[in-house]
Amino acid sequence: MEIEDLEKFLVIAATENLQRSADRLDTTPGALSKVLRRLETALNTRVFDRVGKQIRLNDAGRRLQGKAAEITSIARQVQFELGELGKFSECRVAAPAVLQLTWAAFIQSKLAEIQPKACLSLTSAYESLALRMLVRGEVDLAMITGALLGQVPTQIATRKLGTESLCIVAGSGHRLVSGEWANVEVPIEVIQQYPFAAPRISPFCGEERGIGSDGWGDNLPVRKVQVVVNDYGVLCGLVKTGQFLALLPEGLAEDIGGVKIDVAGQFTGPREEIFIAWRGGSDGWLEDLAQAISGIEGLN
């Protein structure tokens, strides 16, 4: 039984579709069928039920999925630790896109210190999917918020990465930045006069929660949302035009050249605790990386 076959099996198990798996692995459905036949021959049991042209993971396949995730994780750890043998190493991370925008560069810098030859491979996924991908062995690390900690399986370790502080952000040409309110605290009543751009879907969990999905809860004053957009790249572009305000992580605001609006009075911006998750249980490069990148209280 080859490690490479187990890695391909994990992708097939996640998609339950040979064509989609082939597209992800840059191979052909026929080649993946041969992988499955080799595994089933070695195990002397079927791991998928065939229903017409479709395949469905059965009980044996689900048991193999858990074991394969453990085996491939150990194999990847050995690959990293013996990297001097010349095989290129890859650190696979799944996380919501908004967290990647603020944390990817920091994680890459720490990864380079631990394994200079390693490549950081990022997959955009809402936190529940990112966690499932980690459990299934498709990625090495997942980034989640504290709201998901209760759903983390016992074989998965977590450490606090930091805290994302959310703030009201404007472009450099916005009237609250270049006009009479420049460099002073702005009353919330004044901010309410200007239009916001906001998502309808939570950037962390992917659930549709209305125009408060960016963290602007019911406990905060009513604002004027003029543009609803779920893509944070587009949202940030709208902010940079100077026409719209947005509630963004402070680190992201700095990255796009935005300006944090200081609010007068008792206004407190929302905060999200961010955690890194990985398959725990043994010392190695993942433990070292998790320790290196955790404990930083936000990039702000």
Each residue's pLDDT tens digit, 170-184: 999 999 998 788 888
CATH classification at residue 218: 3.40.190.10
Residue 260 pLDDT > 80: yes
> What confidence tier does 125 reach under pLDDT thresholds 50, 70, 90?
very high
> What confidence tier does 85 reach under pLDDT thresholds 50, 70, 90?
very low
Give me 3's structure tokens: 């490690």
Regarding whether 169 and 264 lie in a shared domain, the answer is yes
CATH classification at residue 53: 1.10.10.10
Say whether 47 sits in a helix, a strand or coil: coil
Strand 141-145 to 90-95 pairing:
parallel
| Domain assignment present for 144 | no
Higher pLDDT, 175 or 116: 175
Residue 23 pLDDT > 60: yes
pLDDT tens digits for 211-251?
788 889 888 889 999 999 999 889 999 999 999 999 998 88
The kind and range of the H/E element at 288 are helix 285-293
Q: Among the three residues 34, 62, 87, which one is the final residue of a domain in this structure?
A: 87
Chain mean pLDDT for the chain: 87
Say whether 187 sits in a helix, a strand or coil: coil
* Average pLDDT value for residue range 59-64: 90
> What confidence tier does 299 reach under pLDDT thresholds 50, 70, 90?
very low
Higher pLDDT, 121 or 300: 121
Q: How far apart are CA 199 and CA 102, in angstroms?
A: 18
Q: How far apart are CA 45 and CA 244, in angstroms?
A: 59
Residue 265 pLDDT > 90: no
| Domain assignment present for 289 | no
In total, how many domains does the chain have? 2
| Domain assignment present for 178 | yes
Give pLDDT, residue 297: 41
Q: How far apart are CA 289 and CA 286, in angstroms?
A: 5
> What confidence tier does 282 reach under pLDDT thresholds 50, 70, 90?
low
pTM above threshold 0.85: no
Q: Among the three residues 43, 58, 87, which one is the final residue of a domain in this structure?
A: 87
Residue 100 pLDDT > 50: yes
Range of the domain at 15: 1-87
| Domain assignment present for 148 | no
| Domain assignment present for 39 | yes
Q: Among the three residues 87, 105, 130, which one is the final residue of a domain in this structure?
A: 87
Phi-psi region at 183: left, alpha or beta (left = phi > 0; alpha = psi -120 to 50): left
